[in-house]
Structure 1
Amino acid sequence: MKKLILLLLWLPALRGHAQPAGGQSAPEAVFADGEYLEYAISYKVSLVNTDVAGVTFRTAQGRRGDRDVYTVDALGKVYPFYRWFFDLNDSYVSTLDAGTLRPLELKAELREGKYRYSSRYEYDWDEGVVRTTFRNHKNPDSSRRQMPLREGSFDALALFFNLRCADLSELERNGSGTMDLVLEDTIRTIRYRLMGRENKNIRGTGKFRTLKFRCQLATSSGESFEDGSEFTIWISDDRNRIPLYIESPIRVGSIRGRLIEWKNLKYPLDSKMN
């Protein structure tokens, strides 16, 4: 369950390479104040396909000190019927500079059964480092890590909202590439390949024109893709560039996520065919 929730946070980054800072102007934000996206998470094995959880994203524009910022709240929850089996309530809050779309801070609180985990990322772009603090309920003492940043190395939520603003033309020319994902104590590589355009039926939502990507996340050592996560994602082929459907295999069956509700998009969802 946690794996697919994280994948939903990571994968909008597969739209291309953005260069939001480092002397270049930021891409125009394709999301708006008040945007809301909701996904249903399902588990499929054999002929059984059951919705077990939901993930929501809410975006707000505001101020932080002397900066204009976007604040993004992401929340993943198991549906009530399944909480007896596995209770999950994960919250992520990201703050992005509205002018550059660079992340300033990410806070995460994970509550999964009796397990508790909290983390915080603080970005220092002047020094070119990210400082992370993380701890769980078994070890109340915080662990700390400082890692060097490369331009475009962002956490999951920052990738989600930053790179959906990227210019697609470069990706269409190259067909594949890599990007960096900042985690608590490491930076891992995602490798992706554009499979082409596809008309995709999404259960309960409709038929869409999409861009289809196949992706791999490197192992924790960052040296190999052989035992890392694999996943496929379908993205709306319109100016919003939002994830519509995602699928990732597990040892038995697969986990999937699909868009079920959206509000206050900046642009019409022109990719929807019916």
Structure 2
Amino acid sequence: MKYIILSFLFLLIPYQGKSQCLPQKTAYQSGEVIWYDVKYNWGFIWVDAAEVKFAVEDAKWEGKDAYWFQGYGRSMPKWDWVYKVRDSFDAIGTIQQLKPLYFHRNTNEGGYKVSEKYWFNKETKTIRSSIITSKQEEKVEKTIPYNDCIFDVLTAIYYARNLDFSPYTINEKIPFNLIVDGKVHNLFVRYLGKEIMEMPSGERYKSIKFSALLVEGTIFDGGEDMTVWVTDDQNKIPLKVEAKIQVGWVKAFLKSTKGLKYPELKPLDE
């Protein structure tokens, strides 16, 4: 259960090579809230291990209109005795073309705490970072070059939702850059085509399927060990996420939504 919440927040993290800033049609709006149930493979069974919430709200940054992106996750109370997780991720991004402005990760996983902050400065083309952990309580600060095409975990998720997959062929890669733990990684998503995806409830949806190259580290071994199915509509909401982690497998299923920008995709059977 150790990395369930954080692994899910990497659901849309997309290669080696030059990253791209692609034109976008926004798939979300202020007031949108999405909930997920997260299941973990424990031996031969799947258990309801955690829940995750994503939300978008209006915000102000240096006097300008912006979006406040939120991602919150926690282990289910009945599993807190095994490994208690309470994670929150907050990001501020521009409304037009979604450029990150500020990011804060505040996580507590089994008593191990991390506070990770980034300030993105387009004028100076730098990212100022500040990281504190339980193992290293002294604040570590540094400045990283910013090329205007680097995303934090949350803005990467919403940026990926804006991608138009129609120009791509099956197995084609879509690259972009992500900053994690004070380092910039060149990653990608690989378009796998369209598929009818069945939810645990039996409902079937038209979906877009892709895999994601993951950052090698304490959670993942690296490689394309994550598969994502998103609704084949203008909202592009993740329906299901399946990933191999170092301590098993994790799956996340869409639970409910509120305040979507476009009409919600209906099951095929309706």
Q: How would you bin the TM-score normalised by the shorter chain?
A: 0.7 to 0.9
Match of 2:108 among 87, 107, 111: 111
Could you say what the CA RMSD is over the residues aligned between the two structures, in angstroms? Answer: 2.4
When residues 113 and 253 of structure 1 are mapped into structure 2, their CA distance, relative to the original with a 3 A threshold, is closer
When residues 163 and 152 of structure 1 are mapped into structure 2, their CA distance, relative to the original with a 3 A threshold, is farther
Shift of 1:13: 5.4
Q: Per-residue displacement from partner, 1:148-186 (whole Å, max 9, x unpaired)? A: 123321011011112312332333487223221111221
TM-score computed with the length of structure 1 as normaliser: 0.86
Question: Which residue in 2 is equivalent to 1:177?
Answer: 174
Q: Per-residue displacement from partner, 1:165-213 (whole Å, max 9, x unpaired)? A: 2332333487223221111221112233212111011113722111111
Q: 1:102 & 1:70 partners in 2: Cα distance? A: 10
Question: Which residue in 2 is equivalent to 1:40?
Answer: 37
When residues 267 and 36 of structure 1 are mapped into structure 2, their CA distance, relative to the original with a 3 A threshold, is same
When residues 227 and 109 of structure 1 are mapped into structure 2, their CA distance, relative to the original with a 3 A threshold, is closer
Q: Is the 8 A contact 1:204 1:260 kept in 2?
A: no
Q: 2:101 & 2:3 partners in 1: Cα distance? A: 24
Question: Which residue in 2 is equivalent to 1:250?
Answer: 245
1:140 aligned counterpart, secondary structure: coil
AA of the residue aligned to 2:254: L
Q: 1:227 & 1:9 partners in 2: Cα distance? A: 16
Q: Which moved more, 1:211-220 or 1:131-140?
A: 211-220
Unaligned runs of 5+ in 2: none
Q: Is the 8 A contact 1:4 1:248 kept in 2?
A: no
Does 1:164 pair with 2:161?
yes
AA of the residue aligned to 1:170: P
2:166 aligned counterpart, secondary structure: helix
Question: Which residue in 2 is equivalent to 1:73?
Answer: 70
Q: 1:93 & 1:205 partners in 2: Cα distance? A: 33
Unaligned runs of 5+ in 1: 21-25
2:83 aligned counterpart, secondary structure: coil
Alignment of 1:200-211 (within 5 A): 200-204=197-201, 206-211=203-208
Question: Which residue in 2 is equivalent to 1:10?
Answer: 10
Shift of 1:66: 1.8
Question: Which residue in 2 is equivalent to 1:126?
Answer: 123
Q: Is the 8 A contact 2:34 2:55 kept in 1?
A: yes
Q: Per-residue displacement from partner, 1:91-126 (whole Å, max 9, x unpaired)? A: 011101123311100011111122111011100111
Which has the larger share of helix? Answer: 1
AA of the residue aligned to 1:11: L
When residues 134 and 226 of structure 1 are mapped into structure 2, their CA distance, relative to the original with a 3 A threshold, is closer
Q: 1:19 & 1:178 partners in 2: Cα distance? A: 9
Question: Which residue in 2 is equivalent to 1:145?
Answer: 142
Q: 1:37 & 1:103 partners in 2: Cα distance? A: 21
Does 1:263 pair with 2:263?
no
Match of 2:21 among 19, 22, 40: 19
AA of the residue aligned to 2:214: L
1:31 aligned counterpart, secondary structure: coil
Q: 1:144 & 1:124 partners in 2: Cα distance? A: 15
Aligned residues: 263
Q: Is the 8 A contact 2:2 2:110 kept in 1?
A: no
When residues 230 and 29 of structure 1 are mapped into structure 2, their CA distance, relative to the original with a 3 A threshold, is same
2:11 aligned counterpart, secondary structure: helix
Q: Is the 8 A contact 2:227 2:242 kept in 1?
A: yes
Question: Which residue in 2 is equivalent to 1:23?
Answer: none
Q: Per-residue displacement from partner, 1:33-61 (whole Å, max 9, x unpaired)? A: 11011111111256411111011011111
AA of the residue aligned to 1:59: V
